[in-house]
């Protein structure tokens, strides 16, 4: 076997491997056995037909190709291990047979992505400031107001009632651009709370004083930065009909209101909400400081070309996170695409810069862990495994996965990641 190595762009390496006729021939019998397992050959059990019979059945070329694939499969890992000492591969290799003919040497090309080299810049004593968490009175009042909104009572308005600020109106809506209906712009029973301006600024003003069954036509100039890109900056025509009108009564914020949330008084309620706001703000400030620290380390480091497969994998992960987040909010991904006026591919492109940033952060964290000799002990992995077994005690498939060596490797890497990040925060973030 002869092996030639060639460096490619985007942290990829290509190996050209050539095998002699003798090397391939050693696997002809094995190839015939494998092929015959899926053939019905009279007089022979599956997998037991001799080489010459199989050749007659499927042709010599098919047997030679299968023998080459078996041989390559056995040799590739060893070649990569020998040739890429000190390098970490990303994903599996791409193997293409480039020369193949019975009785002749076989050639294949193997392309594998590797983690790029990282030359760390300064990663200690960066003096990142952790902002102090304080209670914003406006935020406190808004939170209490939102709680009051949750306890709002709604009453079907009497006949002849004219919609006023705070009322909820159920509308059938049609949207037009240049007198042409907008795709997906017709909706029935849309709930609009007047004064909230949920749809577009100025819309609610056009609905004020409408009565049940009332119809109106009007136009609104959409803001240039509106999230619906197909409507942004355009004059949009509306045709609406009021199906129902509800009066809404928001409870007064008093001690009695606080008691309804199991507090003794409004003062106690405000104190509890303030603590929650401080806790949430501390978390957000910590996240902000952490991101600032990691970006500073990345900016001061030199990182080789990132493998496309690694960035693509991270983008796909971010897309899944987005979909799960939307589901958690009760929104369908297809509805989200329609709402934003974008395709899934466009969303993926939007995610690419963030994916690149994530991969670079992972690269510098890995390099810091190597330099600082951060490790995860078997006992630490055992603790994680035990916790996960308790959490997924009723999920048989999850328990199987947790027991595998590959998952233990994943947990070991996760622990090293956590330890490294903790060290960096101790060294760099100051209150």
Supply the CATH number for residue 283's domain: 1.10.3120
* Residue 30 CA: distances (Å) to CA of 21, 61, 63: 15, 15, 9
**Cβ proximity of 211 and 160 under 8 Å:** yes
Using one digit for the tens of pLDDT, what is the confidence trace for 44-83?
Answer: 777 788 888 888 888 999 999 999 999 999 999 999 989 9
* Percentage of the chain lying above the pLDDT 90 cut: 74
Average of per-residue pLDDT across 307-331: 90
Number of neighbours of residue 219 by Cβ within 10 angstroms: 12
Cα dihedral sign, 226-228-233-238: negative
Give the per-residue pLDDT at 209.
96
Averaged pLDDT, 142-169: 94
Tokens of 431: 């209150």
Across 315-340, average pLDDT: 88
Rounded mean pLDDT of the chain? 92
Tokens of 373: 């000799």
Strand-pair partners of 128:
429
* Residues 274-302, mean pLDDT to the nearest whole number: 95
Q: What is the pLDDT of residues 168-215, one digit of tens each?
A: 999 999 999 999 999 888 899 999 999 988 889 999 999 999 999 999
- Cβ-contact 266, 254 below 8 angstroms: yes
pLDDT at position 55:
87
User: pTM of the prediction?
Assistant: 0.69
Buried (b) or exposed (e) across 73-87, using 16+ Cβ within 10 A? eebbeebbeeeeeee
Q: Is residue 145 one of the residues assigned to a domain?
A: no
Q: Based on the domain organization, do 362 and 411 belong to the same domain?
A: yes
**Residues 216 and 273 both lie in one domain:** no
Residue 311 falls inside a structural domain: yes
Averaged pLDDT for residues 88-116: 91
pLDDT score recorded for residue 431: 78
235 shares its domain with 274: no
Total count of domains within the chain: 3
One domain, residues 49 and 167: no
259: in domain? no
Under DSSP, is residue 187 helix (H, G, I), strand (E, B) or coil? Answer: strand
Within a domain: residue 363?
yes
Last residue of a domain, which of 209, 224, 249?
A: 249
Q: What is the mean pLDDT of residues 5-31?
A: 92
- CA angle (377 as vertex; 380, 393 as ends), nearest 5: 30
Same domain, 273 and 243: no
Label residue 382 by pLDDT band (50, 70, 90).
very high
Distance in angstroms (rounded) separating the CA atoms of residues 32 and 66: 8
C-alpha neighbours within 13 Å on the C-beta side of residue 312 = 8
Does residue 300 form part of some domain?
yes
Q: Tell me, yes or no, whether 417 and 280 share the same domain.
A: yes
Is the residue at 391 inside a domain? Answer: yes
pLDDT at 243: 96
- Per-residue pLDDT band for 359 (boundaries 50, 70, 90) equals very high
Q: Is 119 inside a domain boundary? A: no
Q: What is the token pair recorded at 221?
A: 């100039």
Residue 392 has pLDDT above 80, yes or no: yes
* Confidence (pLDDT) at 19: 95
Closest to 412 measured CA to CA, from 366, 380, 387? 380
Q: What is the pLDDT of residue 332?
A: 84
- Domain enclosing residue 45, as ranges: 2-114
Output the pLDDT for position 308. 87
The CATH code of the domain that includes 86 is 3.30.70.1050
| Predicted local distance difference test score (pLDDT) of residue 140 | 93
Q: Is the dihedral of CA 418, 423, 426, 427 positive or negative?
A: negative
pLDDT tens digits for range 27-43: 999 998 888 888 777 77
Q: Which of 195, 217, 249 is the last residue of a domain?
A: 249
pLDDT > 90? residue 96 = yes
DSSP state letters, 132-182:
PP---HHHHHHHHHHHHHHT-EEEEPPTTPPP-TT-EEEEEEEEEETTEEP
**Which pLDDT belongs to residue 337?**
86
Place of tokens 């949430």: 280
3-state secondary structure of 2: strand
> What band does 342 get if pLDDT is binned at 50, 70 and 90?
confident
Average pLDDT over residues 365-372: 95
Share of the chain above pLDDT 70, in %: 100
* Residue 56 shares a structural domain with residue 106: yes
pLDDT in tens, 236-277: 999 999 999 999 999 999 999 999 999 999 999 999 999 999
Higher confidence at residue 11 or residue 274? Answer: 274
Establish if 147 belongs to a structural domain.
no
Predicted pLDDT at 198: 85
């Amino acid at each position: 076997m002869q092996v030639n190595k060639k460096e490619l762009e985007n942290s990829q390496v290509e190996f050209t491997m050539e095998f002699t006729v003798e090397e391939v021939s050693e696997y002809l019998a094995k190839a015939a056995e494998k092929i015959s397992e899926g053939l019905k050959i009279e007089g022979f059990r599956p997998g037991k037909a001799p080489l010459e019979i199989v050749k007659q059945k499927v042709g010599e070329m098919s047997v030679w190709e299968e023998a080459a694939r078996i041989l390559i499969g056995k040799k590739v890992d060893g070649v990569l291990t020998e040739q890429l000492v000190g390098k970490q591969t990303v994903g599996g290799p791409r193997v293409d047979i480039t020369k193949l003919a019975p009785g002749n040497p076989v050639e294949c090309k193997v392309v594998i992505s590797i983690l790029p080299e990282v030359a760390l810049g300064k990663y200690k004593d960066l003096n990142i400031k952790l902002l102090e968490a304080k209670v914003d009175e406006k935020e406190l009042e808004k939170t209490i107001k939102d709680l009051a909104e949750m306890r709002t009572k709604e009453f079907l308005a009497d006949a002849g009632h004219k919609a006023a600020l705070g009322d909820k109106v159920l509308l059938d809506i049609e949207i037009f651009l240049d007198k042409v209906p907008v795709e997906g712009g017709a909706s029935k029973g849309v709930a609009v709370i007047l004064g909230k301006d949920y749809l577009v600024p100025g819309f609610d003003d056009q609905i004020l004083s409408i009565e049940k069954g009332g119809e109106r036509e009007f136009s609104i100039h959409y803001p240039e930065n509106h999230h619906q890109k197909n409507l942004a900056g355009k004059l949009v025509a509306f045709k609406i009909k009021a199906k129902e009108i509800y009066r809404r009564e928001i409870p007064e914020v008093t001690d009695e209101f606080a008691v309804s949330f199991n507090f003794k008084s409004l003062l106690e309620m405000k104190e509890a909400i303030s603590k929650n706001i401080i806790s949430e703000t501390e978390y957000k400030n910590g996240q902000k400081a952490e991101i600032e620290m990691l970006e500073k380390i990345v900016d001061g480091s030199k990182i080789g070309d990132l493998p496309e497969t690694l960035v693509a994998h991270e983008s796909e992960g971010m897309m899944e996170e987005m979909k799960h987040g939307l589901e958690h909010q009760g929104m369908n991904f297809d509805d989200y695409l329609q709402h934003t006026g974008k395709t899934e591919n466009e969303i993926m492109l939007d995610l690419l810069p963030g994916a690149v940033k994530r991969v670079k952060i992972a690269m510098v964290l890995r390099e810091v862990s190597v330099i600082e000799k951060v490790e995860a002990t078997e006992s630490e992995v055992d603790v994680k495994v035990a916790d996960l077994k308790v959490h997924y005690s009723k999920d048989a498939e999850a328990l199987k996965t947790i027991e595998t060596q590959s998952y233990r490797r994943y947990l070991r890497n996760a622990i090293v990641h956590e330890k490294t990040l903790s060290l960096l925060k101790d060294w760099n973030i100051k209150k």
